């Protein structure tokens, strides 16, 4: 089993509910996930758009990197994401799930790239990851999310929200709706 981190982001629709439902789908395959606090964050793009809601989840899996990527893209599609269909890079979306880290795996030639190539530059990823796993040494050099976060400027802003996501569980394999 390898430890992994996924980043979730949304700024269209009811982002909190989208996260709750996406977690049900992810946990149906991956098992229990640890969920970081929610953050409201400034978009990193010059495109005019509303703030994002972001979080990070941690778990353990035997899935290969490509299988984990396929799973996350299926969940994104469940919420209306159409990759490569005129979507603006760093533009608004109902759900974005990025594979940040999978064990100590490093990949540079084929998707998914690991660790995520912009992990070290994104306050909206490092802040919740620091909350959830402050001492986790990340590849390739063992720096922690908290150390990396401390090296970044204060912009774009990130704001931790007080209210966590509701706990949601799969009712049964045939009924995966949020209750």
CA-angle at 144, arms to 90 and 75, nearest 5°: 40
The model's pLDDT over 138-154, given as tens digits with 9 standing for 90+, comes to: 999 999 999 999 999 99
Compute the average pLDDT of residues 170-175.
Answer: 35
Where in the chain does DSSP place strands (E)?
Answer: 2-10, 34-35, 39-41, 52-61, 96-102, 158-160
User: What sign for the dihedral angle of Cα 14, 63, 31, 117?
Assistant: negative
What's the mean per-residue pLDDT of the chain?
89
**Is residue 49 over pLDDT 80?**
yes
b/e burial code for range 25-39 (CB count within 10 A of at least 16 → b): bbbeebeeeebbbbb
Query: What span, in angstroms and rounded, lies between the C-alpha atoms of 88 and 66?
Result: 23
- Positions marked catalytic: 81, 93, 96, 98
**Is residue 130 over pLDDT 60?**
yes
Give the global pTM: 0.89
**Is residue 6 over pLDDT 90?**
yes
Distances from the Cα of 131 to the Cα of 25, 56, 60, 113, 124, angstroms: 23, 9, 18, 24, 12
Which domains are present in the chain?
A: 2-160 (3.30.70.560)
Higher pLDDT, 174 or 112: 112
**Is residue 18 over pLDDT 60?**
yes
Give, rounded to a whole angstrom, the gap between the first and last alpha carbons of the chain.
Answer: 30
pLDDT at 145: 98
Q: If you search the block for the tokens 């709750």, which residue do you land on? A: 20
User: What sign for the dihedral angle of Cα 59, 27, 96, 158?
Assistant: negative
Higher pLDDT, 86 or 173: 86
């Amino acid at each position: 089993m390898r430890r992994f981190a996924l980043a979730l982001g949304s700024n269209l629709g009811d982002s909190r509910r989208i996260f709750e439902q996406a977690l049900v789908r992810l946990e149906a395959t991956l098992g229990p996930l640890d969920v970081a606090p929610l953050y409201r964050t400034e978009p990193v793009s010059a495109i005019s758009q509303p703030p994002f809601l972001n979080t990070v989840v941690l778990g353990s899996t035997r899935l290969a990197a490509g299988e984990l990527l396929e799973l996350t893209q299926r969940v994104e599609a469940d919420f209306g994401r159409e990759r490569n269909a005129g979507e603006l890079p760093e533009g608004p979306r109902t759900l974005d799930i990025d594979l940040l880290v999978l064990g100590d795996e490093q990949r540079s030639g084929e998707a998914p790239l690991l660790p995520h190539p912009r992990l070290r530059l994104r306050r909206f990823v490092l802040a919740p990851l620091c909350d959830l796993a402050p001492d986790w040494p990340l590849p390739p050099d063992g720096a922690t999310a908290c150390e990396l976060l401390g090296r970044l400027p204060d912009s774009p802003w990130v704001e931790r929200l007080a209210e966590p996501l509701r706990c949601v569980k799969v009712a049964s394999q045939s009924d995966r709706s949020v209750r």
